[in-house]
Amino acid sequence: TNEKFIYRRILLKISGEVLQGVNQFGIDMKSLKRIAKEIKSIVEIGIQVGLVIGSGNLFRGARLSKMGLNRVASDHIGILSTVINSLAMRDAINSLSSIKTCLMSAIPLNGICEIYSYEKAMSLLSNQFVIIFAAGTGNPFFTTDSAACLRGIETEADIILKGTKVNGVYSTDPKKDSNAILYKKLTYKDVLHNELKVMDLAAFTLARDYQLPIRVFNINEPGSLYRIIMGNDEGTLITK
């Protein structure tokens, strides 16, 4: 390929909500297939992709514990929900012929998927497999953003691309404030100082400590992932 792109390896994080489409809960096949195609479009031009999927469309630990479940049990349910989303995404990507995938879970789930292995992940990424990192970090009290930063740093990704339903990082909540400003560029310091909502702090400080750039963008905008890979300045970029 003679197309130019600015990244070699990325860690794509998608929130669970992106998979629910217009529904209130669960997985919308149309959204799932669309995201799978977006991923295919960048794998085809030679980008190495690690993928982490949240589970806001199914169960989130914080929500369950508010409803009265024990927090650790709640997070375990959240963790397993990320595996459910990952299984669906693997299937959707596999059905697009020519893309190779590997689903690696942070916790052993024999017979369903592989367990995470650093060595194997590195080797498969280099061989153009899309690696889906499921089950978050495998521990309660963390999020899939933490898992994305962790796996991103481990696998030496050039950037975390955080695909959400919104256009990027705003000064205030754009749903509540019509004067909210969408930032194009921020430093880690700006985010911390102004308490901007990018990720939870555990995840964010990990990215900062290892200087892993983050771009928050709207993955529901068709072609956004591809355009960003080609250097388009879309969403919000957070760097040193």
Q: Which of 31, 137, 155, 220 binds ligand UDP (CB under 6 A)?
A: 137
Residue 140 vs 213, nearer CB to ligand UDP: 140
The DSSP bridge partners found for residue 161 are 12, 215
Residue 59 vs 129, nearer CB to ligand UDP: 59
Binding status of residue 152 toward ligand UDP by CB under 6 A: no
Residues 184-203 binding ligand UDP (CB under 6 A) are none
Binding status of residue 136 toward ligand UDP by CB under 6 A: yes
Q: Which residues are annotated as a binding site?
A: 13-16, 56, 60, 75, 137-144, 164, 170, 173
CB of 49 to ligand UDP, least distance (A): 17
Binding status of residue 168 toward ligand UDP by CB under 6 A: no
Cβ atoms of 154 and 116 within 8 Å: the answer is: no
The DSSP bridge partners found for residue 9 are 48
Residues 11-40 binding ligand UDP (CB under 6 A) are 15-17
Residues 43-72 binding ligand UDP (CB under 6 A) are 54-56, 60-62
Binding status of residue 147 toward ligand UDP by CB under 6 A: yes
Q: Which of 7, 142, 217, 226 binds ligand UDP (CB under 6 A)?
A: 142
Report the residue number whose CB is nearest to ligand UDP. 54
Where does this chain bind ligand UDP (CB under 6 A)? 15-17, 54-56, 60-62, 74-75, 78-79, 82, 136-137, 139-140, 142-147
